[in-house]
Structure 1
Amino acid sequence: MKKIILSLITGIMLLPMSMKADEGMWFLMFLERLNHRDMQKMGLQLTAQEIYSINNHSLKDAIVQFNGGCTAELISKDGLVLTNHHCGYDAVAELSTADKNYLKDGYWAENRKAEKKPSSLYVRFFVRMDDVSKRILSKLNDKMTELEREKAVNQEIALIEKENNEGGKYTVSVRSFFQGNEYYYFVYQDYKDVRLVGVPPESLGKFGGDTDNWEWPRHTADFSMFRIYADKDGNPAEYSENNVPLIPKHYLPVNLGGVKEGDFAMILGYPGRTNRWMPAGGIEQNVKFSYPAWVEGAKTGMDNMKKYMDQSDALRLVYASKYASVANYWKNRQGMIDALTKFGTSKSKAAQEAKFNKWANKPENKAKYGNVINNINTFYSITNEKARHDNYLQQLFRTTAFGTIGRTIGKQLDTYAKADNAKRKDMAPDILAGAEEIFKELYIPAEKDLLAAQLKLYTTKATGYALAPMVDKLAKENNNDFTKYASAAIDMSILTSIDKIKAFLDYPMQSVLDNDPIYTLSNDMITHINSKSDAIAKAQNDYGAGFRLLVEGLRESKIGTIKYPDANSTLRLTYGKVRALPADKRNDAKINNYTTMDGMVKKYKKGDEEFDMPIRVIEMNKNRDYGRFADKDGSMHVNFLTDNDITGGNSGSPVLNGKGELIGLAFDGNIEAMAGDVIFDDKLQRTINVDIRYVLWVIENFSGAKHIVDEMTLVK
Structure 2
Amino acid sequence: MRKLYYFLPLLTLLINPPVFAVEGWWQPQQLSQLAPVLAQEKLSLASFDINALQNHSLKAIVKLGNCSAAFVSDTGLLLTNYSCIAQSVTAAAGQRGLTLANGYTALQREAELPLANLHTSLITNTQNVTVQINRQIPSGLSSADKAEKISQISLALERECQQISQQQCEVSSSFDGLEYQLITSMLLTDVRLVHLPAVANKEALDNWSWPRYQADYVVLRAYQAAPVHSADQQDAVVSVFRPPAYLPLSGAGVNEGDAVVAVAFPRRSQRYSRAEELQFLFGLYYPQSVLYRQQAIELIEKLSDSDSGAAQYYQQLSRRLQHASHNEQNMLLRYQHSQLPINKSAFEQQLMQWINGSPVRQQVYGPVLDKLQRLNTRQHVVLQRDLVLVYLNYTKLPILAQQLYKLAKKRAAGNVSAAALDAEMATLRQQILSLPQQFDVRLDQGFALHFLRHYASLPQAARISALDHYFALNDGFNVDIVRHKLEAMYRSTLLNDPAQLLQWLQRSPAQFEHSRDSLINFAVAMYPASEGLAMERQQMKAELADIRRAYDEVIIAFNDAQGLPSYADSNATLRLSFGRVKGYQPLDAVWYQPFSTVKGLNNLLKRNIDTDDTTASLPVNFLSTNDSTWPDNSAVTLNKQGELVGLMFSGVAENQLAQWHYDRHSSRSVHMDIRYILWQLQQDQQNTLLLRELDIQR
Common topology (TM > 0.5): yes
Do the aligned partners of 2:228 and 2:235 also contact (CA within 8 Å) in 1?
no
Letter in 2 for 1:565: A
Pairing partner for 2:270 from 267, 275, 290: 275
Distance 2:283 2:317 in 1: 26
Do the aligned partners of 2:81 and 2:649 also contact (CA within 8 Å) in 1?
yes
Do the aligned partners of 1:44 and 1:264 also contact (CA within 8 Å) in 2?
no
Alignment of 1:204-283 (within 5 A): 204=201, 207-209=202-204, 213-232=207-226, 242-283=237-278
Asked if 1:290 corresponds to 2:293, the answer is no
Offset at residue 23 of structure 1 (A): 1.0
**C-alpha offsets along residues 626-673 of structure 1, whole Å, 9 cap, x if unaligned?**
xxxx98463343221111112247443211112222211111122223
**C-alpha offsets along residues 396-441 of structure 1, whole Å, 9 cap, x if unaligned?**
66x887786568676446656899xxx99x9997567545765898
Distance 2:633 2:492 in 1: 37
Aligned equivalent of 1:26: 26
Matched residue of 2:359: which SS?
coil
Aligned equivalent of 1:61: 59
Pairing partner for 2:53 from 51, 56, 81: 51
Matched residue of 1:208: which SS?
coil
Aligned equivalent of 2:369: 373
506 and 71 in structure 1: CA distance in 2 versus 1, 3 angstrom threshold: same
Matched residue of 1:197: which SS?
strand
Offset at residue 574 of structure 1 (A): 0.8
**C-alpha offsets along residues 260-289 of structure 1, whole Å, 9 cap, x if unaligned?**
210111111101111111112221221123
Offset at residue 165 of structure 1 (A): 2.5
Aligned equivalent of 2:174: 177
Do the aligned partners of 1:575 and 1:644 also contact (CA within 8 Å) in 2?
yes
Alignment of 1:284-323 (within 5 A): 284-297=279-292
Distance 2:687 2:446 in 1: 45
688 and 384 in structure 1: CA distance in 2 versus 1, 3 angstrom threshold: same
Letter in 1 for 2:225: D
Do the aligned partners of 1:84 and 1:222 also contact (CA within 8 Å) in 2?
yes
Offset at residue 484 of structure 1 (A): 8.9
Matched residue of 2:657: which SS?
helix
Letter in 2 for 1:217: P
Distance 1:698 1:402 in 2: 51
289 and 41 in structure 1: CA distance in 2 versus 1, 3 angstrom threshold: closer
Pick the structure with greater CA Rg. Answer: 2
Task: Give the TM-score normalised by the residue count of structure 2.
Answer: 0.78
Distance 1:585 1:370 in 2: 43
Asked if 1:458 corresponds to 2:451, the answer is yes
Output the aligned Cα RMSD: 4.9
**C-alpha offsets along residues 435-484 of structure 1, whole Å, 9 cap, x if unaligned?**
57658988725776875665466334453244667776568566887999
Letter in 2 for 1:24: G
Distance 2:214 2:485 in 1: 40
Aligned equivalent of 1:8: none
Letter in 1 for 2:627: D
Do the aligned partners of 1:451 and 1:486 also contact (CA within 8 Å) in 2?
no
Aligned equivalent of 2:340: 345
Offset at residue 64 of structure 1 (A): 1.4
Matched residue of 1:371: which SS?
helix
Aligned equivalent of 1:87: 84
Aligned equivalent of 1:10: none
Alignment of 1:533-544 (within 5 A): 543-544=544-545
Task: Give the TM-score normalised by the residue count of structure 1.
Answer: 0.76
Pairing partner for 2:196 from 199, 209, 224: 199
Do the aligned partners of 2:76 and 2:222 also contact (CA within 8 Å) in 1?
yes
Pairing partner for 2:635 from 630, 650, 653: 653
Distance 1:44 1:444 in 2: 61
Matched residue of 2:378: which SS?
helix
Asked if 1:123 corresponds to 2:120, the answer is yes
Aligned equivalent of 1:114: 111
**C-alpha offsets along residues 586-624 of structure 1, whole Å, 9 cap, x if unaligned?**
99xx962122344345445xxxxxxxxxxxxx6xx5334
Offset at residue 244 of structure 1 (A): 2.1
674 and 501 in structure 1: CA distance in 2 versus 1, 3 angstrom threshold: same
Q: Which moved more, 1:655-664 or 1:296-305?
A: 296-305
Alignment of 1:292-691 (within 5 A): 292-297=287-292, 330-360=325-355, 362-394=358-390, 411-412=406-407, 433-434=426-427, 444-445=437-438, 455=448, 458-462=451-455, 463-465=457-459, 466=462, 492-493=494-495, 511=511, 531=532, 543-558=544-559, 563-582=566-585, 592-604=593-605, 622-624=608-610, 632=614, 634-648=616-630, 650-691=632-673
Q: Which moved more, 1:42-51 or 1:112-121?
A: 42-51
Do the aligned partners of 2:375 and 2:544 also contact (CA within 8 Å) in 1?
yes
Letter in 2 for 1:678: W
Letter in 2 for 1:623: I
Distance 1:229 1:713 in 2: 19
Distance 2:115 2:332 in 1: 37
Q: Which moved more, 1:274-283 or 1:175-184?
A: 175-184
Do the aligned partners of 1:569 and 1:649 also contact (CA within 8 Å) in 2?
no
673 and 118 in structure 1: CA distance in 2 versus 1, 3 angstrom threshold: closer
**Sequence identity (%):** 21
Letter in 2 for 1:32: S
Q: Which moved more, 1:698-707 or 1:217-226?
A: 698-707
Distance 2:534 2:413 in 1: 32
